[in-house]
């Protein structure tokens, strides 16, 4: 049994018209409406979400690979191997040296005073030996440990205040 539809418009393909305001769909003489995902409001939302996604995927905070003394000790040991001409990881050696130098540069003259002529190698050795003597401190933030080690070796000079008048 065959059923025929009296309205031939049912079988017409929809007409899609793309304009500046969005995508309009028309079927026969009746306008079906605009596609919601293409309206300006939704386009802006899509662009914002896309931008946020890109930002989250590309922007990363700059931080060290370690946050505690445990990681710093691992790098100190690589630094020691380098000094002893044993097989070592040059990335860890350079990272340790750079980390210690960065902490020292950031805190110079505010928390300690390294005398002129002291090399970064000497400061790295001082820091590493301090770490070996204080394993109970390894759970603390690495930058605090570097500051403490250098501060003990090169404390700030005591300020001489003016004599009190009687």
CA angle 136, 139, 144 (to 5 degrees): 95
Distances (CA, A) of 34 to 24, 29, 49: 4, 15, 22
Looking at the DSSP assignment, which residues form a beta bridge with residue 25?
A: 16, 33
Per-residue pLDDT tens digits for 61-112: 555 445 788 888 988 888 888 776 665 555 655 788 889 999 998 888 888 8
Residues with Cβ within 8 Å of 155's Cβ and at least 6 positions away in sequence, in order, are: 112, 113
The structure's pTM equals 0.54
Q: Place 1 in a pLDDT band, splitting at 50, 70 and 90.
A: very low
What are the sequence ranges of the domains in the chain? 12-58, 69-153
CA pseudo-torsion sign 136, 95, 157, 109: negative
- What b/e readout covers 88-108, taking b as 16+ CB neighbours within 10 angstroms? beeebbebbbebbeebbeebe
Is beta strand 22-27 parallel, antiparallel or unpaired with respect to 30-34? antiparallel
Asked whether the beta carbons of 24 and 31 are under 8 A apart, the reply is: yes
Strands of the 30-34 sheet, one edge to the other: 15-19, 22-27, 30-34
- pLDDT for 144 equals 93
User: Are the C-beta atoms of 112 and 118 separated by less than 8 Å?
Assistant: no
Phi-psi region of 94 (alpha: psi -120 to 50; beta: other; left: phi over 0): alpha
| Higher-confidence position of 50 and 36 | 50
Give strand pairing partners of 19: 22
């Amino acid at each position: 049994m065959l059923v025929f539809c009296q309205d031939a418009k049912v079988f017409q393909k929809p007409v899609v018209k793309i304009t500046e305001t969005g995508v309009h769909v028309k079927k026969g003489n009746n306008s079906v409406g605009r596609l919601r995902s293409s309206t300006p409001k939704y386009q802006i939302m899509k662009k914002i979400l896309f931008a946020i996604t890109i930002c989250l995927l590309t922007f990363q905070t700059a931080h060290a690979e370690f946050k505690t003394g445990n990681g710093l000790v691992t790098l100190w040991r690589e630094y020691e191997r380098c000094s002893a001409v044993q097989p070592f990881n040059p990335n860890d050696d350079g990272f340790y040296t750079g980390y210690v130098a960065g902490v020292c540069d950031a805190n110079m003259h505010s928390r300690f005073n390294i005398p002129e002529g002291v090399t970064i190698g000497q400061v790295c050795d001082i820091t590493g030996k301090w770490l070996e003597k204080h394993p109970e401190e390894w759970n603390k933030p690495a930058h605090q440990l570097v500051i403490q080690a250098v501060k003990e070796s090169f404390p700030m000079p005591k300020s001489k205040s003016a004599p009190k008048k009687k």
